[in-house]
Amino acid sequence: MIYLDNSATTKPRKEVMDTFVKANEAFYANPASLHGMGVEAERLLTGARQQIGKLLLTEAENIYFTSGGTESNNMAIFGIARANKKRGRHVMTSVIEHPSILESFKQLEREGFEVDYLSVNRNGQVSLQELESKLRQDTILVSIMHVNNEIGTIQPIAEIAEVIHSHSRAYFHSDCVQSFGKLPVNFEGVGPDAITVSGHKINGLKGTGLLAFRHKIPFEPLLFGGGQESGMRSGTVSVPNAASLAKAMRLSVEENRSSNFQKWKKELISFFSHYEFIRIITPYESAPHILSISFRGIKGEVLVNALERQNIYVSTSSACSSRNTKTSHVIGAIHMEDEFVNGVIRISFGLYTTDDDIEDFKSAFLQAISIIKGEHL
């Protein structure tokens, strides 16, 4: 089996699983409890928070554990916007964000906020000039992802932050779910005020994630209850989840495989470039682990199914919307030619990808195309 759908999710590392199991066995007490077992659980939770704080170059108290990317993104958008609405009701994002961002902004619109959606060029990048022109004195929040999950575009986060902070009082949030562990992601230098990370994208566990801040900012929680996570996210904290996330994040930084990803991406770009019916969608300067291509006259799901019959797993654009028959909003935003719109597949490398996997993929691809073309003739 060759798994090339790592942007959708990744196989958990054994070390991460071991940390999760051991923490459940030995530190299952409620970390808010005052007895000795609770104190030990709290100590492990604090250690995980401190370890992540060191990775992200922020204070441990600025790390808040969540159930994953969607919750973290919702928490950031609503928490920042609602807490700062006395300063203004203008917010901004881009047209190619993850649905957990776009749907949150649609809800803000229903609540009376004014939303501007930044367009992108054919490579999927926002325009710094458009961003600057749309910033206002009453802009309170801008959210722009670091790496696009469908086509791998890298946004110029530092430059975006510089524009936002120079021309407004807005806070800047960035969805770093696809970039953490592949590109440098931390609070060093100019950058976002808040970032989102998801465990299952970095060989961690589903149901783990975080929202991290550069520094304390006005914020309104989504969940109310016992006041856990400094009142930012009430509910009993899963110590095993937090410990496993810290382990996954540390290992993904220490054992960065981006050079391998980049090598395979260049190799496949060269391979696909020989075929006139294939278009490379992913920009050349992009995230190392994502390669999106499209076919003229072949539907993406047809090729996905053909490859699966050879035990190779890729996806059509984003797994978050691949079961939806509508054209991806990302593909629509980059204005791809109509003849290529329905033929998109996404290949994404991961920790367990090998050189042999890439060679086997090429052979399987050629066989699948031969069969499909034959069926079309």
Distance of alpha carbon 155 from alpha carbon 159, whole angstroms: 9
Pull the structure tokens for residue 63: 């790390």
Pull the structure tokens for residue 202: 């970095």
Alpha-carbon distances, residue 219 vs 226, 239, 340 (angstroms): 17, 24, 43
3-state secondary structure of 112: coil
Pull the structure tokens for residue 333: 């935003």
For tokens 């994404």, what's the residue? Answer: 348
CB 139 within 8 A of CB 92: yes
Catalytic residue among 217, 320, 341, 369: 320
Bridge pairing between strands 63-66 and 209-213: antiparallel
CB 93 within 8 A of CB 148: no
User: Residue 101: in which H helix or E strand, if any?
Assistant: helix 99-110
Distance of alpha carbon 227 from alpha carbon 225, whole angstroms: 6
Alpha-carbon distances, residue 11 vs 2, 206, 370, 372 (angstroms): 12, 10, 31, 30
Of 234, 236, 253, 257, residue with least CA distance to 245: 253
Return the CA Rg of the chain: 21
Let me know if 176 is a catalytic residue.
Answer: no
For tokens 């086997």, what's the residue? Answer: 360
Residues catalogued as catalytic: 320
